[in-house]
Structure 1
Amino acid sequence: MPETVQVPELDGQGAIPTYVTRPQGPPRAAIIVIPEIFGVNEGIRKKCEDWSAKGYLAAAPDIFWRFAPGIELNPDIEAEMQEALGYFGQYDPDLGVKDIEALIHWIRREAGVAKVGLVGFCLGGKMAYMAAARTDIDASVGYYGVMIDQMLNESKAIANPLLLHIPTADGFVPAEAQKAMHDGLDDHPRITLHDYEGLDHGFAAASGNRRDEAGAQLADSRTEAFFAEHLG
């Protein structure tokens, strides 16, 4: 059964509410699922449950817990999209990486799962890149990560595998930013970039107007194979 676990911050001052699902048997590994800017909503919970059905412990932290705990928003509703963009402006990604590190520690020490991967979407895609650069996460995947082009100098710290899914018609990541990502990352031995021609931001959402079925299935199959290779 899914549960919400309170994961202690690194400094012990607070706790990160985290949605956790478990497989029926012993986990083959763990996967942290970092949401978009819409909270741990139905789509993110489904992604966790899908990973657990494949044998993984899955954990989705409430990334906005410090100032908007428990929000669940629908990107197909304009007012909720605007609300989410406001939360994005309040979010501190440096604290977010520390929350991810705290969750890695909890998974390894408390849940007893040694190998930990991470998959993130939108803002979570940026966090996947930052986690690869700043933590010892075993493998990371970012879908349509925003603002990665502004952090390319951190790529030299990435020692474990990172996979990035890039839709070429992303309204939040313009063509020049995509080019900068390719120019800065294509030669990195631990990073793989996949382009999705003509697809837009959010194409791999679990449901809703943004989902592109063929593109989502292709990207998700690549992610599954990537984790199978690097997490077991």
Structure 2
Amino acid sequence: MGEFIQLTASDGHKFDAYLAQPSGKAKGGVVIVQEIFGINAHIRSVADDYASEGYLAVAPALFDRIEPKIELGYEAEDIEKGRDYKGRCSDDAALLDIAAAQGTAAAAGKVGVVGYCWGGYLAWLSTTRLDGFDAGASYYGGGIGSVATEKPKCPVIFHFGENDHAIPMEDVEKVKAAHPELAVNLYPAGHGFNCDHRGSYDATSAKIARERTLELFGDKIG
């Protein structure tokens, strides 16, 4: 079980972050980047899971720049609200908060970043635009095709659902074409397949993606 702490970005913005600590000495750190639903029960459980694997996990509350303590579910009304909040957050501002979270996670050593949906897009940008990450994992990052040609500063693994209504396969092909050196994995699933709070959850795909991500992090972080 983790706890909320307060972090400060380089521009002076103060915001919450969920911190989950391993029971023993940390292997390294992991920054968990949220979906459009805030630091809700699912994202906290993801952070707790990485902590159970030996990582110091930090999940920054990116919507705090708009409104504090936003926590949404997955119904139509929640999705509409989440899209509105996301539309009011710039990439640059979100990356400032992710960088602050990276600084906290770095107390444990090398640091990885993993993100889902909007967070999958931001996790990719974190590896291309920020310093300090040693590995990255991007799950079904919406809009990632628009930034596919950016160059990562560390190894990155991608996870996409073949039946994702939100990400056209053309975007996946853009990632593959731009980065033949990176692992781009496809699963027989839809958008949000990693989230066990959603109807689109696919346990088998989520398990395989988790194992692949942990393998990369184990190799590059510890």
Do they superpose with TM above 0.5?
yes
Q: In structure 2, the residue corresponding to 1:195 is in which secondary structure?
A: strand
Shift of 1:69: 1.7
Structure 1 counterpart of 2:76: 78
Letter in 2 for 1:2: G
What residue in structure 2 maps to residue 5 of structure 1? 5
Could you state the TM-score of these two structures normalised by the residue count of structure 2? Answer: 0.95
Residue 151 of structure 1 corresponds to: 147
1:102 corresponds in structure 2 to 100
- Specify which of 111, 117, 122 is matched with residue 112 of structure 2: 117
Give the count of matched residue pairs.
Answer: 221
Counterpart CA distance in 1 for 2:8 and 2:159 is 31
Contact 1:143/1:165 (8 A) holds in 2: yes
Structural RMSD (CA) = 1.3
Residue aligning to 1:195? 186
Please report how far the alpha carbon of residue 106 of structure 1 lies from its aligned counterpart in structure 2 after TM superposition.
2.7
Deviates more, 1:91-100 or 1:139-148: 91-100
Aligned partner letter, 1:20: L
Which of 164, 172, 189 is the matching residue for 1:170? 164
After superposition, what is the alpha-carbon deviation per residue over 1:18-77, rounded to whole angstroms, capped at 9, x for unaligned?
A: 0001011111111111110001111111111111111111111101111122111111x1
Give the whole-Å Cα distance in 2 for the aligned partners of 1:68 and 1:210: 28
Q: Which amino acid aligns with 1:134?
A: R
Structure 1 residue 33 corresponds to structure 2 residue 32: yes
Cα deviation, residue 167, structure 1: 1.1
Q: Percent identity?
A: 30
- Alpha-carbon distance in structure 2 between the residues aligned to 1:131 and 1:123: 12
Q: Which residue of 2 aligns with 1:128?
A: 123
State how far apart, in whole Å, the 2-side matches of 1:52 and 1:113 are: 12
Report the equivalent of 1:179. Answer: 173
Contact 2:57 2:105 (C-alpha < 8 Å) held by counterparts = no
Structure 1 portions without partners, runs of 5+: none
